[in-house]
Structure 1
């Protein structure tokens, strides 16, 4: 498989691109994507068999179930990051080893029902928080030590909307390819 083909499998919707200007309308659309994500994941995974939940979205990639479990882990961290930035002055967030988390027992569980329930509640709570961030608060920041930079909350909303759509595309991709990729 070519490098370009592998890149497209890894980033089926492309990489996140921060717009030069983030408008209130853009923020609203991003929040809608975040709020609707759990229902979209539930719709595409409904009725999948254990075998299908174990399909990978690309060669050497995670399985569908790992992607679903990862989204819950990642988005739990996201709400904490937003709350830290809203309540502290430029806090340094704590990164985590997502690839290691993806191998823990709860991330390889064939039953994704609890995780889907968690995503529903988490995204409802996250959507409520994000919908009530003021224009002034959107410029608050947190420091991500792995990237060595400050992330503003308005950009971060976009990144998590992208992250949701990115992994939804991974799940759909695994289903379309039936977890099989030719070289």
Structure 2
């Protein structure tokens, strides 16, 4: 893996597991539950200059990464809730770039985004822990991927997404020697 690839994908590119065990699902839930606290702890001493720093050259700023996670995970949580009501919902695609062009990513909205991540993840984990085993069989249809996905697969993606973007920020902090 070259340096740019490592900066873009610090935890590696996502690969859907062939088989997802109950233990894997519990680990995904743990990752989702830990993200808000780990993220807040990592950026607690950041000032505007640090929030406006790109995690890599020509990449998003820390602020944009946090806002993206808040937007993407809020959207995922809503899809998850819809999926509990109506099996095999169709997941409408969205364009990250288009969403990042809206106003929230151009002002100091980090604290609001961190609160959103905290609220979404706390509710998501509570909901996941309340599911009966058979409810994990609920599926989602992704037109972009042309495939149906189960809740465990959905969780695999969003636990990876959590680690992926958290590591963008944590790696930048470590490289820069920020406290």
TM-score over 0.5 for the pair: yes
Map of 1:69 onto structure 2: 67
Post-superposition Cα deviations, 1:93-130, rounded to whole Å, max 9, x if no partner, equal 11211112112211232241111111111111011111
Residues of 1 paired with 2:35 and 2:137: CA distance? 25
Query: Tell me, what secondary structure is at the counterpart of 1:47?
Result: coil
* TM-score for both structures, normalised by structure 2: 0.91
Post-superposition Cα deviations, 1:6-49, rounded to whole Å, max 9, x if no partner, equal 11111000122333321211111110110110111101111111
Map of 1:121 onto structure 2: 119
Number of equivalences = 176
- Once the two structures are superposed, the pairs formed by residues 7-156 of structure 1 within 5 Å of their partners are 7-156=5-154
Residues of 2 paired with 1:169 and 1:153: CA distance? 24
1:176 aligns with 2:174: yes
Of 5-14 and 108-117, more deviation after overlay is shown by 108-117
Contact 1:55 1:175 in 2 (8 A): no
> Gaps (5+ residues) in structure 2?
none
Higher helix proportion (structure 1 or 2): 2
Q: Which contiguous aligned blocks of 4+ residues in structure 1 show a shift greater than 4 angstroms?
A: none
Map of 1:181 onto structure 2: none
RMSD between superposed Cα atoms in Å = 1.5
Post-superposition Cα deviations, 1:59-117, rounded to whole Å, max 9, x if no partner, equal 21110000001111000111111122221131111121111211221123224111111
* TM-score for both structures, normalised by structure 1: 0.90
